[in-house]
Chains A and B, each alone.
Chain A
Amino acid sequence: MNIVKVSRRDFVKLTSAASAGLVLGLQFPRSARAAEGAPFPLGTFVEVGTDGIVTIYVSKSDMGQGVRTAMPMIVAEEMDANWKNVRIRQADLDKKYGRMGTGGSSSVRTMWTPLRQAGAAARAMLVSAAAAKWSVDPKEITVSKGVVAHGAKKATFGELAEAAAKVAVPKEVTLKDPAKFTIVGKKANRLDNPDLVVGKAHYGIDVRVPGMLYATVLRAPVFGAKVASVDDTKAKAVPGVKHIVRLEPHGNEAPWAGVGVIATSTWAAMKGRDALEVKWDKTGDETSAKLSAAMLAAVAGGGNPKRIRNDGDVDAALSSAAKTLEATYEVPYLAHATMEPMNATASYTADGLELWLPTQFADWNAGAAGGAAGTKNVKVHVTLLGGGFGRRAFPDFAIEAALLSKAAGAPVKVQWTREDDMQHDFYRPASVHRVVAALDAHGKIAAWHHRMAGPAINSWMGQGDPAESEVFDKEQLPPIANARLEFANVDSVVPRGWWRSVENTFNAFAVQSMMDELAHAAGKDPIEFQLSLIPAGYKVEEKGVVTYDADRLRRVIELAREKSRWGKPLPAGRARGFAAWYSFHSYVAEVAEVSLDKNGVPRVHRVVTAIDCGIPVNPDGVAAQVEGAIVYGLTAALQGAITIEGGAVQQSNFHDYPLLTIDRMPVVETHIVPSTAAPTGTGEPGTPPIAPAVTNAMFVLTGKRVRKLPIVA
C-alpha cells in the first residue's frame, strides 16, 4: 500500500508549493457540462449559470473554520461578482484542485493567490465575451456586482456566461488593488447558516446511500491488542444484525484491531456489538504515572536528548548569571473530542471504492482506504465536518468503512460512539519541559536552556525526526545570545496526532510561563519585560521573503495591553495574566482576567485578544476562530486530560473528559490589527497563549506557579 505521509510542517510547505499556479494552467473540460441549463465553467473553481448564479467550488474541508465562506469571498472579490448571487459546492476529490488536505491553518493562506487568480480569470473571460459582443476594447469595460458594462451597454454575468465559457482561460491575470476590495475584509454571514439553523446541513453522519447498512466496530480497548477469539452467537441473534467482520490494524494510521457488526440500523449494530464476546490477545502495562516518570527522567538528564539548537555558550552564561530560574512544566495527553463522533460511509464494488467522508484529508484518506481495500479507483465526496481539530486528518475511519463495505457487499456507514472516539484517537502528545533561564545584572535574559521530552507525533507516525514535530521554532523565542533547545523522545503505546495548534500548545505554555517567571524575578511588568526583549526591526527572511516580523508581535502586545486596560484597577479578587505567541504565520497576544472560587478553581471572566493575521478575509470569521481557539485551549488548560492505565484510555465520555460549558465562558474580545499583508492562519493561533495567560494571572492571585496542566486535576 502506497500511503502519502505528511508531517504538519511538510504539509504546510507542500500546500504552498502545490497551489501556486494550479488554477490557470488547467481548464475544466467542456464535456463536463452534461445537461442543458447547467451552469458554464469559467476555469476550475467557477461556474456561472444563465440565471447569473455564480457557483464556487470549495476545495478545502470546512470543520467550522469557515472556509466555505472565506474562500468564495476571495473568488467573488476578484470577479466583481454580486455576493448575493454566490453559491458554493463542496468539491469532490479531484487532482485538478491541487492538494485538498485541510490543516495547519493554511487554507486561506495557501489558496489566497490561486483563488484570486481564479476569480480574476473568470472576470477576464466575462469581459472578453462582452468585448467581442459589443466590438469594444476590453480595457474600457467595467465590472461591478455581477454586471459588465461599457458606456450605456450592460450585460449580466448570466447573459455572458455561455460566450465567456468559450473564451480560453487566460494564462496571466491582473489582480485587484486590495484598497479597492469590497467583499474581502468586510463581515460576511456564513453561507451555510440558512441550512444550519433548520437541520439541513449535511454532515458525514447524515449520509444515506441506497441499500446502505449500518455498522459499529468493537475496537481493542488496549493499544496494540488484537482479536484472540470472537464468540458472536448472541450478536448474530440480535434482530437486524447481518454480518460480523474481523478487522486488522493498518499500520500507524489505522492502528485499531476490532470486530465490526453490520446491521440494518445503527441501533441494531450497537446492540449487536454489545452482545459480542471478544477476547483480546494482550493486556497493557503503560500508565500515565510511568510515562510522566520517564519524561521527568529524560529532562533531568537521562534519555539522550537530541540537541536542536545551541547558540552561544549556555553553560558559561548560566554559571556567571546574576539570577537563575529553573522550572519544569508538564502537560497530559488530550483527545480532540469533535462533537460529531467519527463516521464514514463507503461503497465498495468491482468498479472501485466510493467514500462519503467528513474528512480533513480527502486525498490521504482516499489513498489509504483504497490501498486497504485493494483498489486504486477511489471517489471521495467531502461532507461537512462536525469539528476536526486535526482528528479528521487520519484515514482510520475511512479504511474501516471501506473494508466493512467490501465484506458486506453493500454500502456501509460506520458509526463510532463517543466512547469509541474518546478511546481511539490520535492524541495531543503529553510532554515535559525543563527550562533553566538566567537574568543578567540588567534584568535581561542571559541564557535559556530548554529540554523537552515526550512521545513525538513523528515517532508515532514513523516518519522524520521525532524532534521536528515537537520543538518550537526560532521565531517563537526572542533573540537570546545563549540558547539551547533539546528534545528526548519517550516511548509510548498511545497514538499521537495533530491537535489544534499541535506543539504550540505546550511550547507556548512552557515558554510564556517562564517569561512571566523571569519578569517577576527581574521585578518588571510582564508585558514591559517581553516588549523589552523584542528588538526593533527584527525580521526573519526565507528566500528574500519576510516570514517573521517582530514589530508585528510588538503591535499585538501593545494592542492587547491597551484594550485590556492592563495595569488599571480590577474588582477585588481578580487579576490579569498575559501571554503572546506567534504561530501559523500570525501574531497573537492575550490578556486573561481571572478570579478563584473558594476551592481555588479559576474562573476566567474576560479574555482580550489582539491578532495580526494579515488581511482578515472575513473579520467576523476571524473573531469566531479566535473565540473558538480560546475555548479549545481553555478547556484543556482547566480540565483536559487523557490518562492511561493498563495501556488503555481511562476516559470515555463527557462526564470524565468535560468540555467547557456556557456558564464558564469568558467574554472574549478580539481586536484585529488592520493589515495589507497577505492573509495568514486564524484557526489555531488563538489557542497557544490562553493556558499561560490564565496561569500567569493565577500567580498574581496566589503567589504560586501552576506548572502542570490541567489546572484542575
Chain B
Amino acid sequence: MTKLTINGKAHEVHSEPDTPLLWVLRDELAMTGTKFGCGRGFCGSCTVLANGEPIRSCSTALQNVAGKKILTIEGLSPNGAHPLQRAWQAENVPQCGYCQAGQIMSAAALLMKNKKPTDEQIDDAMGGNLCRCGTYQRIRRAIHRAAEEV
C-alpha cells in the first residue's frame, strides 16, 4: 500500500510499488485524463505535476512519488475554468486532443514559475510534449492568452 495525495485528496493505493504512476492513475483509480503515449518519457502525454514539478508519469514508479502531492488534469481546476483550460478552448487548440492533458499540465508548470513566458521560454518548457496533429502554434497562442489572465 502506498499513500499519496492526488488533486488534494489522500489516497491509499495497492498497485505494486514498481508500477508507473500512469497506470496507478488509469487502471487502479480510473483517472483516465492522463494519457499513455510512449512509455519512455519521450512524448509528454502522461505529464502530471509532483509537488509542482512536471513529471512523466509513464516512467515514474509509484514508489518514487509516495507521499508527494500529485496534480493531474482532473484536478487543475474544479470546473475547467483554469486560465489555460479557457485559453485552450478559445484558441481551439485540440484536434484529436489526446496529447492535450499533458500539454496543459506542462504549460501549468511553466506559468507557475513564469507569469509571462516568451516564445522561446514556451519552446523550452514545452519541447518535450509532442503533438502529432500539429497544434503547436495554437498551444503557443493559448499559453500567451492564459498568461494575460493570470
Q: Which residues of A contact B134 (CB under 8 A)?
A: 627-632, 660, 665
* Interface status of A64 (Cβ within 8 A of chain B): yes
Q: Which 3 A-B pairs have the closest CB atoms?
A: A199-B33, A631-B134, A386-B98
B129 touches A624 (CB 8 A): no
14 contacts across the A-B interface (CB closer than 8 A): A63-B96, A192-B94, A197-B84, A199-B72, A208-B30, A267-B15, A267-B20, A338-B96, A340-B35, A386-B96, A629-B134, A631-B134, A653-B40, A662-B127
**Most chain A beta-carbon contacts within 10 A, residue among B39, B72, B89, B132:** B132
Our pick among B34, B40, B135 for the contact of A199 (Cβ within 8 Å) is B34
Closest chain A residue to B98, Cβ basis: A386
Asked whether A661 and B127 contact (CB < 8 A) given A265-B23, A267-B15, A386-B98, the answer is yes
Q: Which residue of A lies closest to B130 (CB)?
A: A659
* A338–B124 CA distance with the chains assembled, in angstroms: 24
- State A664–B64 Cα separation when bound (angstroms): 33
Question: Which secondary structure characterizes the binding site on chain A?
Answer: loop
**Which residue on A lies nearest to B78, using beta carbons?**
A198
Q: How far does the alpha carbon of A624 sit from the alpha carbon of B95 in the complex, in Å?
A: 8
A633 nearest CB neighbor, chain B only: B134
Q: Produce 1/0 per residue, A165-202, CB < 8 A to B.
A: 00000000000000000000000011011101111110
Q: Is the beta-carbon distance between B132 and A66 smaller than 8 angstroms?
A: no
Within 8 A of B (CB), among A377-421: 384-389, 415, 417-419
CA distance A419 to B73 in the complex (A): 26
A193 to B97, CA, bound (A): 9
**Residue B123, interface by CB 8 Å:** yes
Nearest residue (CB) in B for A624 is B95
The smallest beta-carbon distance between A678 and chain B, in angstroms, is: 24
Q: Is A357's CB within 8 Å of the partner chain B?
A: no
Q: Tell me which residues across on chain B come within 8 A of A205, comparing CB atoms.
A: 32, 35-36
Does A478 touch B at the CB level, under 8 Å? no
- Indicate if the CB atoms of B80 and A197 lie closer than 8 Å: yes
Kindly identify which residue among A189, A198, A266, A624 contacts B80, using a CB–CB cutoff of 8 Å: A198
Write out, one digit per residue, whether chain B residues 85-118 have a CB within 8 A of any chain A CB (1) or not (0): 1001110101111111100100000000000000
Known contacts A205-B36, A662-B126; A64 and B136 CB within 8 A of each other = no
User: A64 to B95, Cβ gap below 8 A?
Assistant: yes
* C-alpha gap A387/B133 in the complex (Å): 7
Say whether A18 faces chain B, with CB atoms less than 8 Å apart.
Answer: no
Whole-angstrom distance between the alpha carbons of A712 and B116 in the complex?
A: 34
CB of A711 to closest CB in B, whole Å:
18
Judged by a CB distance under 8 angstroms, whether A214 is at the interface is: yes
A620 to B137, Cβ gap below 8 A?
no
**Does any Cβ of B come within 8 Å of A655's Cβ?**
yes
Residue numbers of B with Cβ under 8 A of A are 15-16, 19-20, 23, 26-28, 30-40, 42-43, 45, 72-74, 76-77, 79-80, 84-85, 88-90, 92, 94-101, 104, 122-124, 126-140
Question: Does B123 lie within 8 Å of A662, measured CB to CB?
Answer: yes
Q: Which of A201, A265, A266, A661 contacts B97 (CB 8 A)?
A: A201
Please indicate the chain B residues that have their CB under 8 angstroms from the CB of A660 in the complex: 134, 136
Q: Chain B interface secondary structure, helix, strand, loop or mixed? A: loop
Interface residues on chain A, size class? 35 or more
* A35 lies within 8 A of chain B by Cβ: no
Q: With A339-B45, A385-B96, A627-B137 as given contacts, are A267 and B37 in contact (CB-CB < 8 Å)?
A: no
Complex interface: chain B residues within 8 A of A62 (CB): 96
Determine whether the beta carbon of B132 is less than 8 Å from that of A190.
no
Q: In the complex, A208 Cα to B122 Cα: how many Å?
A: 36
Q: Write out the residue numbers on chain A whose beta carbons fall within 8 Å of the beta carbon of B123.
A: 662-663
> How many angstroms between the C-alpha atoms of A659 and B133 in the bound complex?
10
**Using a CB–CB distance below 8 Å, which chain A residues touch chain B?**
62-66, 189-190, 192-194, 196-201, 203, 205-206, 208, 214, 239, 265-267, 337-341, 384-389, 415, 417-419, 620-621, 624-625, 627-632, 653-655, 659-663, 665, 667-668
B23, B34, B95, B136: the one within 8 Å of A662 (CB): B136
Q: A65-B95, A654-B42, A655-B42 are in contact. Are A662 and B139 (CB under 8 A)?
A: yes
A340→B32 contact, CB < 8 A: no
Q: Which residue of B lies closest to A415 (CB)?
A: B36
Task: State how many angstroms separate the Cβ of B3 from the closest Cβ of chain A.
Answer: 19
Complex-state Cα separation, A654 to B28, whole angstroms:
27
- Complex Cα distance, B99 from A151, in Å, reads 51
> Looking across the interface, which residue of chain B has its beta carbon closest to that of A661?
B127
Which residues of A are found within 8 Å of B15, using beta-carbon distances?
A: 265, 267
- Max count, chain A CB within 10 A of own CB: residue among B23, B26, B96, B97: B96
Determine the chain B residues whose CB is within 8 A of the CB of A655 once the complex forms: 40, 42
Min C-beta distance of A105 to chain B, whole Å: 14
Contact assessment for B72 and A387 in the assembled complex, using a CB-CB cutoff below 8 Å: no
Is B73 within 8 A of A654, CB to CB?
no
In contact, B89 and A66 (Cβ under 8 angstroms): no
CA distance A306 to B45 in the complex (A): 46
Chain A residues positioned under 8 Å from B20 (CB to CB): 267
Residue of A197, A265, A341, A665 with most partner-chain B CB within 10 A: A197
Residues of B contacting A668 in the complex (Cβ-Cβ under 8 angstroms): 137
The answer to whether residues A194 and B40 also contact, given A64-B97, A659-B130 and a CB cut-off of 8 A, is no
Residue from B79, B95, B137 in contact with A665 in the complex, judged by beta carbons closer than 8 Å: B137
Query: Contact at B130–A189, with CB atoms within 8 Å?
Result: no
**A265: chain B residues within 8 A (beta carbon):** 15, 19, 23, 27-28
Q: How far is the CB of B68 from chain A (nearest CB, A)?
A: 19
Q: Is the CB of B95 within 8 A of A66?
A: yes
Tell me the smallest distance from the CB of B113 to a CB of chain A, in Å: 18
Find chain B residues with CB under 8 A from A627 CB: 134-135, 137-138
Q: Is the CB of A418 within 8 A of B97?
A: no
User: How far does the Cβ of A627 sit from chain B's closest Cβ, in whole Å?
Assistant: 6
Apart from A265-B27, A418-B38, what 17 extra A-B contacts exist at CB < 8 Å? A192-B94, A192-B97, A193-B89, A196-B100, A199-B101, A203-B98, A265-B15, A265-B28, A267-B27, A337-B132, A386-B35, A418-B39, A624-B135, A653-B39, A655-B42, A659-B131, A665-B136
